[in-house]
């Protein structure tokens, strides 16, 4: 079974803090993704990584950066947290083996509150 884990289920941070959200997958997947989910909106892509040390901006990258030093780990960094970054953050991974239309495997999410 593929497992995607995220470092925290709930996190409360103060405005201006630097925040790290960690994601680890155990299936040697090449692709990894960070999304945020807000009420009434679909999952929106923040950043994704095709492979180690490779990253590309998604649809809403402003205020975020990412790091992928090892294949299994993809970190999302909020350089200076703001209240509008209060959200549910989901990490996902996908294998490139075979058909690239294959499903993504998600972590359980981190609910971040910035006060």
Partner 1 sequence: ILNVEQSPQSLHVQEGDSTNFTCSFPSSNFYALHWYRWETAKSPEALFVMTLNGDEKKKGRISATLNTKEGYSYLYIKGSQPEDSATYLCAFMEYGNKLVFGAGTILRVKS
Binding site for partner 1 (CB under 8 A): 4, 31, 35, 40-45, 48, 58-59, 90, 99-109
| Whole-number Å distance between alpha carbons of 40 and 100 | 28
Q: How far is the CB of 70 from partner 1 (least distance, A)?
A: 21
| Whole-number Å distance between alpha carbons of 24 and 106 | 11
81/107 with CB nearer partner 1? 107
107/114 with CB nearer partner 1? 107
Are 115 and 50 in contact by the 8 Å Cβ rule? The answer is: no
Q: How far is the CB of 11 from partner 1 (least distance, A)?
A: 16
20/102 with CB nearer partner 1? 102
| Whole-number Å distance between alpha carbons of 89 and 111 | 6
């Amino acid at each position: 079974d593929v497992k995607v884990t995220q470092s925290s289920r709930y996190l409360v941070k103060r405005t201006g803090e630097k925040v790290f959200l960690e994601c680890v997958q155990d299936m040697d997947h090449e692709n990894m993704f960070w999304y945020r989910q807000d009420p009434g909106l679909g999952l929106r892509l923040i950043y994704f990584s095709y492979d180690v040390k490779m990253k590309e901006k998604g649809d809403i990258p402003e205020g975020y950066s990412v790091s992928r030093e090892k294949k299994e780990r993809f970190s999302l960094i909020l350089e200076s947290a703001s209240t509008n970054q209060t959200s549910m953050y989901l990490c996902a991974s996908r294998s490139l083996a075979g058909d690239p239309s294959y499903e993504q495997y998600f972590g359980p999410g981190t609910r971040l509150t910035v006060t």
